[in-house]
């Protein structure tokens, strides 16, 4: 088996034990006589799978009983519209923090819908090299919610704190850091995340929503975007992304088997520290993100020379270190070291970085 170290920002690598278990069950799941891909979502076999997935996720994230867990379709980007449609009627206003491309897209989506939305903080003028400091007095007291993107995949930044919003619901896109470490769900009104970075293959979107926030949906909103409808139907108002939910269940099971999110954080922090310590110890590569905003999942760096950056990504790929090219909007390099990336992958990356620097001196 010739597997590479896949540093893709998403879809990303999956844990090998999960892939192997999925492979063993691909043709026939249990004693069902069929693949999960072939099951009716109304069948007892599949109902057990989706219920187990929710039970495992609740245990993993310590999700309070007054929160609904929804397994949906459409990607996190669909939630850019779903969030205001489900919540704006609380007061008719909403506040946003723009700390990168995806939070910017969420803000623009709400603007496009004609709502009274306000950007209360942004680090755009600093090329998003850190996340803003958000205090309660910055938020409009009559805002329906405050929206943030907790980890910025493209720029490699992350909130080192959970903003204090008082009684105003905090809505957070956790797509690129979900289930990478413990987080206090009770401090959020809504958490949403695409699956394809830490949870499963692309195709499933997770929404965790506090029950009291299910009663503000716009009456004219599309039914498929209404959280209350999905909650009342246990995520099966229509056919859900069945196989992706099954894969997510296997991932949840894998993490629980390791010891849960405390252990997962310890493993992830060890990998991130190894890479950041190397970046800080030399001057060939530049880490543009301010230290207090560094992501544990997405590590960005550059050489300062666009041609060298391009060569780095190309030669790294040939050496079995795939998908290190930075996002097309910012360039440079990006190492996404999600849950499934082994420590050995980061060691291999650093070894290559040292070799590349020695063989490609800057002019």
* Paired residues of 119 in beta bridges: 96
* Distance in angstroms (rounded) separating the CA atoms of residues 116 and 363: 51
In order, the DSSP letters of 5-40 are EE--SSS----HHHHHHHHHTSS--TTSSS-GGGS-
The 10 Å CB-count burial string (b at 16+, else e) for 31-59 is: eeeeebeebebeeeebeebbeebbebbbe
Which are the contacts of 354, defined by CB distance < 8 A and separation ≥ 6? none
The secondary structure of the chain in percent helix, strand, coil, rounded to multiples of 5, reads 40, 15, 45
The 10 Å CB-count burial string (b at 16+, else e) for 70-105 is: bbbebbbbbbbbbbbbbbbbbbebbbbbbbbbbbbb
Look at domain 260-359 and name its CATH class: alpha beta
Structural contact between residues 271 and 138, judged by C-beta atoms closer than 8 angstroms: no
Q: What is the residue-level pLDDT of the chain in tens, covering all 363 positions?
A: 689 999 999 999 999 999 999 999 999 999 999 999 999 999 999 999 999 999 999 999 999 999 999 999 999 999 999 999 999 999 999 999 999 999 999 999 999 988 999 999 999 999 999 999 999 999 999 999 999 999 999 999 999 999 999 999 999 999 999 999 999 999 999 999 999 999 999 999 999 999 999 999 878 889 999 999 999 999 999 999 999 999 999 999 999 999 999 999 999 999 999 999 999 999 999 999 999 999 999 999 999 999 999 999 999 999 999 999 998 878 899 999 999 999 999 999 999 999 999 999 987
> For the CA atoms of the chain, what is the radius of gyration?
21
* Helix (DSSP H) and strand (DSSP E) numbers for the chain: 9, 13
Question: Is CATH 3.40.640.10 the right assignment for the domain spanning 17-258?
Answer: yes
Q: What residue spans define the domains of the chain?
A: 17-258, 260-359
Which residue intervals of 44-164 are DSSP H helices?
Answer: 44-61, 75-87, 101-112
Q: Give the global pTM.
A: 0.97
Our CA angle for 36, 39, 40, nearest 5°, is: 145
Model pLDDT, residue 220: 83
Structural contact between residues 155 and 138, judged by C-beta atoms closer than 8 angstroms: no
10 Å CB burial of residue 220 (0-12, 13-18, 19+) is exposed
10 Å CB burial of residue 2 (0-12, 13-18, 19+) is exposed
* Distance in angstroms (rounded) separating the CA atoms of residues 363 and 361: 6
Q: Is the peptide bond before 11 cis (omega within 30 degrees of 0)?
A: yes
Our CA angle for 258, 157, 353, nearest 5°, is: 75
């Amino acid at each position: 088996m010739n597997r590479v170290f896949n540093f893709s920002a998403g879809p990303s690598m999956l844990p090998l034990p999960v892939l192997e278990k999925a492979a063993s069950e691909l043709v026939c799941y249990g004693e069902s006589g069929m693949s999960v891909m072939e099951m009716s979502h109304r069948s007892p076999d599949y109902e057990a799978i989706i219920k187990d997935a929710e039970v495992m996720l609740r245990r993993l994230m310590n999700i309070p009983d007054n929160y609904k867990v929804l397994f949906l379709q459409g990607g996190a980007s669909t939630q850019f519209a779903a969030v205001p449609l489900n919540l704006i009627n609380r007061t008719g206003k909403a506040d946003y923090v723009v700390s990168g491309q995806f939070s910017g897209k969420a803000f623009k989506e709400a603007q496009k819908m004609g709502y009274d939305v306000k950007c209360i903080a942004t680090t755009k003028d600093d090329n998003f090299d850190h996340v803003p400091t958000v205090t309660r007095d910055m938020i409009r007291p009559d805002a329906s919610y405050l929206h943030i993107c907790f980890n910025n995949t493209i720029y490699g930044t992350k909130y080192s704190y959970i903003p204090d919003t008082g009684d105003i619901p905090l809505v957070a896109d956790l797509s690129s850091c979900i289930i990478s470490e413990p987080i206090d769900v009770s401090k959020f009104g809504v958490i949403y995340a695409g699956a394809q970075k830490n949870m499963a293959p692309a195709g499933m979107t997770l929404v965790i929503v506090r029950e009291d926030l299910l009663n503000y949906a716009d009456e004219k909103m599309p039914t498929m975007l209404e959280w209350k409808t999905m909650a009342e139907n246990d995520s099966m108002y229509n056919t859900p992304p069945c196989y992706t939910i099954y894969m997510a269940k296997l991932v949840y099971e894998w993490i629980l088997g390791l010891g849960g999110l405390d252990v997962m954080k310890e493993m992830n922090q060890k990998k991130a520290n190894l890479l950041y310590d190397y970046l800080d110890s030399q001057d060939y590569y530049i880490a543009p993100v301010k230290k207090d905003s560094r992501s544990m999942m997405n590590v960005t760096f550059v050489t300062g020379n666009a041609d060298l950056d391009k060569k780095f990504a190309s030669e790294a790929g040939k050496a079995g270190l795939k998908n290190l090219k930075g996002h097309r909007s910012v360039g440079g390099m990006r190492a996404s070291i999600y849950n499934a990336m082994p420590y050995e992958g980061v060691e291999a990356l650093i070894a290559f970085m040292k070799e590349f620097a020695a063989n490609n001196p800057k002019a």
